[in-house]
Structure 1
């Protein structure tokens, strides 16, 4: 058996103090890679996933140790990992005078929150990647309001932001159309802060139906943009520390144009500046709290060119690179990985490799805050790194969104736990900057209550706290 590696991906120091070893009893049932996140052993074959185990009896071995890990430090140990399916090791950590405990692997199918042994103030979430013999420890985020802990001065592009692709497509629909397991409100409550929205435009109506390509997102009745906005407004009213980026694109069978869409949106939906951030530049968190940041993937009507002192209206994503591995948005506000044309199921590995590469690129920039050495007033912020994990092929059932997510999501969790944020350890060997993930746009998160991918992405914002 290999020795355990521990990654402290939090802003607080940790010390492993005690290791106890128990006999383990496999729990009933087996898990697919999509839901089995707490212990990932195989990315593409669910039969390779070992069963979870529960502790049986008293500890048969107890050992005092001292392995210290500073914030965002990786430490090898001489602690032998548990024999899969037969053993459990119980680890006791100390942080700032308080003790926390976790079983590895746990009886849970997903990430595990450490048990507080003496009512300590910190919350820690762990994910054990068995294939790497690695326990990654994240600060447990308060997902409904995780932006509250970050300074106002950070530009949104410096953050690690979880997003969803075709965000409102959680309804009964064609399997190739549905991309999400849960509704918009539940996504928001669990930390999602980038929404990908497609609307159908008719020239004789200001009503905007939600669509995915040419198809309605629900077979049980039309769903409308306005109703979705009401849900988002309600969430922001309850969580004023938060902001979200909304990408809006025209699709569907309607005969309306981009110019008509921009007028409808501004006249009917964006007139309230309290709700929307529409200045055509990347905002700082403090400027956007409580608002929706507009990223328009449509051309504006010429009448909007005079807005904001002649600079236009909204973040400009109208010239969007198609099916790209690392494409630059025409306005320069974002670099995008959106390779989506999967023609065979084995090409999913290429998609995963591209997503890992874009995570590495997102981790390279360094954001220098006002007052820090090297800060330049008026310098533009780094662009967004927008990384789509989604892909599909309408004509291949093995490449519909849920099937892609079942392979891509666990693979990206494994990367974030094992390699992300390690200097020179990414696919291209790039130098590490702030370690951001960028905007990671997902399918089928939240299914059966599984939010581990979102927790991993949000967890990487703790690295920014080291600069605060």
Structure 2
């Protein structure tokens, strides 16, 4: 077996102090089957191995291996033999000790056990086929933005998002993209929401209908935009440290236009709750956006909104969204750089999609955002990276099947290679190490939020610049 590599992806220096080796018994084996839903989000690119300790330690070794903040170190600790061994690692920070067993008893991330009253909490992702232990700062996902400074532009942050965010209901094949609803997504750290609405007329008294392409998002009754906003407003009232970005696009079979949608959003939703929305046509700092919905519009505005904000317009303008793109810009150079390749026709396209997502992660990591940017320096674009793809006519390419491959492959990449200079697909240097905005399908199934935890965890790197 190869030796373990340890990545300390936290803002605290750690030291590996003790290694113990146990016999283990496999707790699962064989490949997970996906039948209409994801049976386990984190598997790695190959089958994940899990084991339970049998008996007492058969080997114990004290050592002293310093692990600096966001540093990667090789070790002379042999990785556990899959399904047969468990290695227990004990780390120390400021005199306090923390312990973790790798592999764990399930596919989930591992929470380090505190051996005393240590002040920190740590989460571990173990990638079997990389023999890599990646350590993240455990985060309260409901309010993870609380730890970040007001001065950061939103584009500096690593932000989890969801594709066709409200589509967690019983629906036609390929229409449903999410395992859980909006409030549960918010409570577990999602902060970018992709929302598609149908506009039926120019009557501002009618509500917007939530859709996915031409289809309703639920077979059990129409779902409305105002109900989604009720969940959002309730969350922001309870968590004023947070903000969220809402991408809004017109779809469906309604006869309304983009311009009518823009007036409807402004007159019925944003203007009456002005304190809940950020509609300036510039990317805000986190402090400006806390407690608010940032409007990221994928529709054309009505000319009547051109006079808003002293004639600068209304909302972040991404109306010229590039279709099926591998790497393209929208809204000029200052709004977003996008990977949104979504056409799936065969398994080789899934491999292509994984590589495109990794390449965009690498681009996001290369960029440097200044704290409290001066005028002229603030227009660093969002890197928006869609992990979603589908093919309505091929059941093997429905959203849940794609997610079962893309999500674990992304976790694995972030654990093994993200933020490592020269280790990405294009061997780029590393700047801030951000992930950008990752837009996902089918997170949260059966309480599995590992992908979201990995994305949020990278914000700890911003603390190194403070």
TM-score (structure 1 length as normaliser): 0.96
2:411 equivalent to 1:410: no
Distance in structure 2 (CA, Å) of the matches to 1:416 and 1:147 = 20
Distance in structure 1 (CA, Å) of the matches to 2:410 and 2:217 = 27
Distance in structure 1 (CA, Å) of the matches to 2:385 and 2:11 = 25
| Structure 2 counterpart SS, 1:461 | helix
| Structure 2 counterpart SS, 1:180 | coil
| Structure 1 counterpart SS, 2:332 | coil
Aligned-residue offset at 1:29: 6.2
Q: 1:2 to 1:70 in 2, by over 3 A?
A: same
2:386 equivalent to 1:388: yes
Paired position in structure 2 for 1:246: 246
Q: Which runs of 5+ in 1 are unaligned?
A: 43-47
Q: 1:37 to 1:81 in 2, by over 3 A?
A: farther
Deviations 1:10-56 (A, max 9, x none): 000011100011111122565639555666360xxxxx443x21111
2:304 equivalent to 1:311: no
Aligned counterpart in structure 2 of residue 369 of structure 1, from 356, 361, 371: 371
CA contact (8 A) 1:125 1:138 kept: yes
Paired position in structure 2 for 1:355: 357
2:298 equivalent to 1:297: yes
Deviations 1:91-116 (A, max 9, x none): 00001211000000011320010000
Aligned-residue offset at 1:222: 0.3
CA contact (8 A) 1:201 1:257 kept: yes
CA contact (8 A) 1:319 1:331 kept: no
CA contact (8 A) 2:330 2:337 kept: yes
Paired position in structure 1 for 2:212: 212
Paired position in structure 2 for 1:442: 440
Distance in structure 2 (CA, Å) of the matches to 1:103 and 1:191 = 26
Q: 1:267 to 1:113 in 2, by over 3 A?
A: same
Deviations 1:103-134 (A, max 9, x none): 00011320010000011010100000010000
Aligned-residue offset at 1:166: 0.1
Q: 1:163 to 1:8 in 2, by over 3 A?
A: same
Distance in structure 2 (CA, Å) of the matches to 1:451 and 1:115 = 19
Q: Which ranges of 4 or more aligned residues in structure 1 deviate by more than 4 Å? A: 28-31, 33-39
| Structure 1 counterpart SS, 2:160 | strand
CA contact (8 A) 1:38 1:128 kept: no
TM-score (structure 2 length as normaliser): 0.96
> Mapping of 1:57-96 within 5 angstroms?
57-96=55-94
CA contact (8 A) 2:89 2:101 kept: yes
CA contact (8 A) 1:208 1:224 kept: yes
Aligned-residue offset at 1:376: 3.9
Paired position in structure 2 for 1:281: 282
Q: 1:180 to 1:38 in 2, by over 3 A?
A: closer
Aligned residues: 458
Q: CA RMSD in A?
A: 1.3
Q: Which runs of 5+ in 2 are unaligned?
A: none
CA contact (8 A) 1:360 1:426 kept: yes
Deviations 1:396-435 (A, max 9, x none): 1111100000000000000000000001111111110000
Paired position in structure 2 for 1:120: 118
| Structure 1 counterpart SS, 2:275 | coil
Paired position in structure 1 for 2:186: 188
2:458 equivalent to 1:460: yes
Aligned-residue offset at 1:273: 1.6
Aligned-residue offset at 1:174: 1.0
Distance in structure 1 (CA, Å) of the matches to 2:379 and 2:63 = 45
Q: 1:101 to 1:462 in 2, by over 3 A?
A: same
Aligned-residue offset at 1:378: 4.2
